[in-house]
Structure 1
Amino acid sequence: MQILIDIIILILAVIIAFSGGIFYRKRIAEAQIGSAEERSRKIIEDAIKNGETKKREMLLEAKEEEIRVKSELDQEVKERRSELQLSERRLLHKEETLDKKATALEQKEEQMQRKLDKIDKTKDEIELLEQKQVEELERISELTLAEAKQYLFQKVEEEVKHDSAILLKEVEAKTKLEADKKAREILTNAIQKCAVDHVVDTTVSVVPLPNDEMKGRIIGREGRNIRTLETLTGIDLIIDDTPEAVILSGFDPIRREIARVALEKLIVDGRIHPARIEEMVEKAKKEVEVLIREEGESATFETGVHGLHPELIRLLGKMRFRTSYGQNVLRHSIEVSNLAGLIAGELGLDVRLAKRAGLLHDIGKSVDYEVEGSHVSIGVNLCRKYGENPIIINAVEAHHGDVDPETAIAVIVQAADTISAARPGARRETLETYIKRLQKLEEIATSFKGVDKSYAIQAGREVRIMVVPEEIDDNGLLLLARDVTKQIENEMEYPGQIKVSIIRETRATEYAK
Structure 2
Amino acid sequence: MEIVIGVVCLVVGAVAAYLIASNGSNSKVQEANKALEDARDEAARIQDSARRDAESAKKSALVEAREEILQLKNQNEAENNKRRQELQGLESRIMQREESLDRRNDALDRKEHQLSSQQSALDKRQNEVSALLQKQTSELERIADLSREDAHKELLERVKGEVVRDEAQIIRDSEQRIRAHADKFARKIVSTAIQRCASDQAGEITVTSVHIPSDDLKGRIIGREGRNIRTFEQVSGVSLVIDDTPETVILSSFNPVRRETARVALENLIADGRIHPARIEEMYKKAEKLVGERVQEAGEQAAFDAGIHDLHPELIKTLGALRYRTSFGQNVLQHSAQVSALCGTMAAELGFDVNLAKRAGLLHDLGKAIDHEVEGPHAVIGADLCRRYGERPDIVHAVEAHHADVEPNTVLDVLVQAADAISAARPGARRESAENYIKRLEKLEDISNAHDGVERTYAMQAGRELHVMVQPEKISDAEATVLAHDIAKQIEDEMEYPGQVRVVVIRESRAVDVAK
**TM-score, length of structure 2 as denominator length:** 0.51
Q: Is the 8 A contact 1:198 1:326 kept in 2?
A: no
Shift in CA distance, 438/267, structure 1 to aligned 2, threshold 3 Å:
farther
* Higher alpha-carbon deviation: 301-310 or 173-182: 173-182
Q: Kindly state the Cα deviation for residue 409 of structure 1 after the two structures are TM-superposed.
A: 1.3
SS where residue 494 of structure 1 aligns? helix
Q: Is the 8 A contact 1:203 1:251 kept in 2?
A: no
* Higher alpha-carbon deviation: 353-362 or 231-240: 231-240
Q: Kindly state the Cα deviation for residue 201 of structure 1 after the two structures are TM-superposed.
A: 5.8
Q: 2:316 aligns with which of 292, 313, 317?
A: 313
Identity of aligned residues (%): 62
The residue that corresponds to 1:354 in the other structure is: 357
Partner Cα separation in structure 2 for residue 414 and residue 436 of structure 1: 24
| Counterparts of residues 208-247 of structure 1 (less than 5 Å) | 208-247=211-250
Deviations 1:86-129 (A, max 9, x none): xxxxxxxxxxxxxxxxxxxxxxxxxxxxxxxxxxxxxxxxxxxx
Partner Cα separation in structure 2 for residue 392 and residue 251 of structure 1: 28
The residue that corresponds to 2:488 in the other structure is: none
Partner Cα separation in structure 1 for residue 294 and residue 353 of structure 2: 31
Partner Cα separation in structure 2 for residue 201 and residue 267 of structure 1: 23
Runs (5+) with no aligned partner, structure 2: 1-174, 444-456, 465-516
The residue that corresponds to 1:47 in the other structure is: none
Partner Cα separation in structure 2 for residue 182 and residue 195 of structure 1: 22
Q: Is the 8 A contact 1:201 1:324 kept in 2?
A: no
| Counterparts of residues 67-78 of structure 1 (less than 5 Å) | none
Q: Is the 8 A contact 1:204 1:249 kept in 2?
A: yes
1:253 and 2:256 correspond: yes
Q: Which has the higher contact order (CA 8 A, sep 6+)?
A: 2
Q: 1:298 aligns with which of 283, 298, 301?
A: 301
| Counterparts of residues 5-404 of structure 1 (less than 5 Å) | 177-200=180-203, 202-404=205-407
The one-letter code sitting in structure 2 at the alignment partner of 1:196 is S
The one-letter code sitting in structure 1 at the alignment partner of 2:271 is V
Whichever of the two has the greater Rg, that structure is 1
Q: Is the 8 A contact 2:380 2:405 kept in 1?
A: no
Deviations 1:141-185 (A, max 9, x none): xxxxxxxxxxxxxxxxxxxxxxxxxxxxxxx99986442211110
SS where residue 295 of structure 1 aligns? helix
Deviations 1:188-245 (A, max 9, x none): 1101111332335644211111222211111111110011001111212121222222
Q: Is the 8 A contact 1:338 1:355 kept in 2?
A: yes
Cα root mean square deviation, aligned: 2.7
Q: Is the 8 A contact 2:303 2:309 kept in 1?
A: yes
Deviations 1:238-274 (A, max 9, x none): 2122222211122221111111100001011111100
Shift in CA distance, 212/307, structure 1 to aligned 2, threshold 3 Å:
same
The residue that corresponds to 1:451 in the other structure is: none
The residue that corresponds to 2:415 in the other structure is: 412
Q: Is the 8 A contact 1:257 1:288 kept in 2?
A: yes
Figure out how many residues of one structure are paired with residues of the other and give that number. Answer: 278
**TM-score, length of structure 1 as denominator length:** 0.51
The residue that corresponds to 1:425 in the other structure is: 428
Shift in CA distance, 234/416, structure 1 to aligned 2, threshold 3 Å:
same
Partner Cα separation in structure 2 for residue 332 and residue 372 of structure 1: 23
The one-letter code sitting in structure 1 at the alignment partner of 2:362 is L
Q: Is the 8 A contact 1:337 1:354 kept in 2?
A: yes
Partner Cα separation in structure 1 for residue 388 and residue 436 of structure 2: 37
The one-letter code sitting in structure 1 at the alignment partner of 2:343 is A
Shift in CA distance, 296/394, structure 1 to aligned 2, threshold 3 Å:
same
Q: Is the 8 A contact 1:303 1:334 kept in 2?
A: yes
Runs (5+) with no aligned partner, structure 1: 1-171, 441-488, 497-513
Runs of 4 or more off by more than 3 Å in structure 1?
Answer: 172-178, 200-203, 434-440, 489-493
